[in-house]
Chains A and B, each alone.
Chain A
């Protein structure tokens, strides 16, 4: 072999090594891309286990791998590969951070449901499911897997995931399960529930209740004096803001019943801080003066350092109070959103205003109610100019007094859905101004035909869109 041939062979060898190395890197990049493209941590996969129970109207198949299979512990990789090969399938990928989960590809073009059935019958398999992938196409946020909590009554929460249960319309929900792939909330965000108080000892709420920080001075009210506001504020008599009606507790649960705690329901936020404010009595009504006192309390606490960004107001009347409008404006100046019920009189608020929802103040978001069929609730007020948005508000399951859960209806129930979505947005964007927060909410809807000409946006709030860019 002459000297030139040696150089040629060495050069060829180097090229081959480089090609092999590049191919290996390509494979690594491909796997890295796949692991980022799908969210497949252990916890999230667990939560997605019952994905077929919810609406999958936004799902689409991206082809291989077709199913995800969890093999029982003790089943070796060799056995898995043998089982798949016997079926003319192959292990396409092992899912990172999820022991036992394999993504399986099929060469026979069988549909995912058939494959799932086939694998579920194997004694080596613990669980199999289709490889659902969901794309928030309108948000550009990339594919996300819906996150489902294990709270036992979650399947009754059609507002969050409408699978058509009890004859409802599939997908007529706020896309909460997709939103949760991005965030389930933050306990840095405080939402004030201005209502009949809140049962802050409720098993599904207690972990998400605001409590005055030890270092913060108790509240001082000009009329009521120094108040022990450890658990919030009672504007009626300065005592404890414990709920003696149930309405406030119901609204609080919609916003932030603790999620994934194996109890009751999940709130729009699994984590959040609910600040209880009581201005309505055991009968569910209160005075304008006490509402104003409570809003002033929120502003005071905000100035003292509490990150309270949303007031949820599931109440109102047709009587206009200029003083109430002024204090809501003061809340706006303190960067606090005010979400208010449009009212339940089946009237047009553009002609027959309902307050506080009809105040022309920049931080006010007026909310109408939808039922499980995406119809405007028969009782709901509306207004092409004065009612901003709609949200589920009929047969809404939430927390009630005495560790109970009840279904209730009203724009009262639709309002905390929107307040909850606002809190989710703030969990992702803590510095967002109140103006931008309101814009974001109003830009985050699914169009609903019956709302055209009935609300400003003509749509139902969509939490997943609200978390998109």
Chain B
């Protein structure tokens, strides 16, 4: 089932709250922009992950919590945490 922009943002907020061990209400949505990512892992591949080399339309989601900003990337198929503590995660 395709993921909508709203669902993607909600999933990203919940994921960040879990990773930071805080309430999701403490995660603020800073911006959500349309973006073209370089590949089908949205330019955020996990370790040992190969991805299709097709430009992929999606959303760059910037969240704010505990005074820091965090980037998530999403498209209709997936949501990914981008370089959270240096690592990418598909959620």
Q: Is A127 an interface residue (CB 8 A)?
A: no
Q: Is A35 an interface residue (CB 8 A)?
A: no
A247 to B78, CA, bound (A): 15
Q: Is B6 an interface residue (CB 8 A)?
A: no
Chain B contacts for A291, CB-based, 8 A: 50
Name the segment of B15-23, B53-61, B63-71 touching the other chain. B53-61
Closest CB in chain A relative to B78 CB, distance in Å: 5
Q: Is B29 an interface residue (CB 8 A)?
A: no
A287 and B48 form a contact (CB under 8 A): yes
Contact of B38 among A279, A315, A379 (CB under 8 A): A379
Count B-side interface residues using an 8 Å CB cutoff. 19
A196 to B39, CA, bound (A): 14
Chain A contacts for B53, CB-based, 8 A: 314-316, 341-344, 410-412, 415
Chain B contacts for A204, CB-based, 8 A: none
Q: Is B31 an interface residue (CB 8 A)?
A: no
A408 and B50 form a contact (CB under 8 A): no
A247 and B54 form a contact (CB under 8 A): yes
A67 to B52, CA, bound (A): 48
Q: Is A345 an interface residue (CB 8 A)?
A: yes
A316 and B78 form a contact (CB under 8 A): no
Q: Is B77 an interface residue (CB 8 A)?
A: yes
A315 and B49 form a contact (CB under 8 A): no
Q: Is A430 an interface residue (CB 8 A)?
A: no
A370 to B77, CA, bound (A): 27
B54 and A284 form a contact (CB under 8 A): yes
Closest CB in chain A relative to B55 CB, distance in Å: 5
B20-54 residues with Cβ-Cβ distance < 8 A to A are 38-41, 43, 45, 47-54
A315 and B52 form a contact (CB under 8 A): yes
Q: Is B90 an interface residue (CB 8 A)?
A: yes
Q: Is A409 an interface residue (CB 8 A)?
A: yes
Contact of A412 among B47, B48, B52, B90 (CB under 8 A): B52
How many A-B residue pairs have C-beta atoms within 8 angstroms? Tell me. Answer: 95
Contact of A286 among B39, B47, B49 (CB under 8 A): B49
With CB as the reference atom, state the residue of chain B lying closest to A280: B52
Q: Is A239 an interface residue (CB 8 A)?
A: no
Chain B contacts for A314, CB-based, 8 A: 52-54
A364 to B58, CA, bound (A): 31
Q: Is A426 an interface residue (CB 8 A)?
A: no
Given contacts A195-B52, A314-B52, A315-B50, contact A285 B38 (CB under 8 A): no
Contact of A344 among B38, B77, B78, B90 (CB under 8 A): B38
Closest CB in chain B relative to A382 CB, distance in Å: 14
A379 and B78 form a contact (CB under 8 A): no
Q: Is A74 an interface residue (CB 8 A)?
A: no
A245 to B77, CA, bound (A): 9
A283 and B90 form a contact (CB under 8 A): yes
A196 to B53, CA, bound (A): 12
Chain A contacts for B50, CB-based, 8 A: 279-280, 285-288, 291, 315-317
Given contacts A283-B90, A285-B40, contact A409 B51 (CB under 8 A): no
With CB as the reference atom, state the residue of chain A lying closest to B37: A344
Closest CB in chain A relative to B83 CB, distance in Å: 14
A408 to B39, CA, bound (A): 12
B51 and A408 form a contact (CB under 8 A): no
A428 to B40, CA, bound (A): 35
Enumerate the 7 nearest inter-chain pairs by beta-carbon distance, A residue then B residue, closest first: A284-B40, A410-B54, A344-B38, A341-B53, A285-B51, A412-B54, A412-B53
Q: List 24 A-B contacts (CB under 8 A).
A: A196-B52, A247-B54, A283-B41, A284-B40, A284-B41, A284-B51, A286-B49, A287-B48, A314-B53, A314-B54, A315-B50, A315-B51, A315-B53, A317-B45, A317-B50, A319-B47, A319-B49, A321-B48, A344-B38, A345-B38, A379-B55, A409-B55, A410-B52, A415-B53
**B interface with A by C-beta (< 8 Å):** 38-41, 43, 45, 47-56, 77-78, 90
